[in-house]
Amino acid sequence: MRYRADLLLTTALLLTPALLTGCAEDIDEPPVVTASSATAAGSPASGAPVTATSTFAPYTANATAVTYDPALVPAGATAAVTFMPAADSTTVQLRVGGLQPGRGYGAHLHVNPCGPTGEAAGPHYQKQADPAASASPPSVDPSYANPRNEVWLDFTTDATGNATTTATQPWTFEPPRAPRSLVIHAQTTKTGPGEAGSAGARAGCVTLPG
């Protein structure tokens, strides 16, 4: 009996360091980093999926989503802009909530961040810039102001004021030139000569990561 007790004690002493080592490895193992947390600080030109999610409010210096027309884009409404790049294309998705129900809106990517007025966002982002255009008046030439050279995300809200829309372009955003905002307009986008790309007043704006 004493021999068996000594054997059990020796076995336990030999196994204890291994058991403790296994526990230490479990405790020290680093946390898993998810894709969303890894790309949250990216930009549309980063080459990785990026989502900018914001809640609309009246303009302040630190606002990421601004309403310029609370009747069309109420304070508290939300928007999420997601960029999903591929090797030679980019998909942009817009999700909105809390807007006027059953209403059509225009939406485009713009070159500047949001500011105290809708005009601060500047003209539409164009892959090939219209050489005859400037910030004011913007490009209205259908050869440049079109949904192939710009990113148009027009939508119609459902009965609860929500909508999702997606556009895929056969090109990518290249730093340092990338869109800095998404503007929601009061009307859907026109396509005719002399008015192409126009969509009425700028009702709201979301600043995108730079």
The pLDDT score that the predictor gives to residue 106 is: 98
In the chain, the percentage of residues whose pLDDT exceeds 90 is: 64
- Reported as half-sphere exposure (CB side, CA atoms, 13 A), residue 46 has a value of 18
Q: Are 96 and 77 in contact (CB under 8 A)?
A: yes
Q: How confident is the model at residue 208 (pLDDT cuts 50, 70, 90)?
A: very high
pLDDT value for 120:
95
Distance between CA 77 and CA 174 in Å, rounded? Answer: 30
22-26, 39-43, 203-207: range with lowest mean pLDDT: 22-26
- Please tell me the least confidently modeled range out of 20-24, 30-34, 138-142, 178-182: 30-34
Question: Residue 136: its pLDDT value, please?
Answer: 54
How many CA atoms within 13 Å lie on the side-chain side of 76? 5
Look at residue 10 and tell me whether its pLDDT is greater than 80: no
**Mean pLDDT rounded to a whole number for the chain:** 82
Task: Look at residues 94, 119, 117 and name the one whose alpha carbon lies nearest to residue 106.
Answer: 94
CB atoms within 10 A of CB 85: 19
Fold of the domain spanning 42-207: Immunoglobulin-like (2.60.40)
CA atoms of 17 and 171, how far apart (whole Å): 58
pLDDT of residue 39: 35
Q: What is the pLDDT of residues 174-198, one digit of tens each?
A: 877 899 999 999 999 999 888 999 9
Q: What is the percent of the chain with per-residue pLDDT over 70, rounded to a whole number?
A: 78
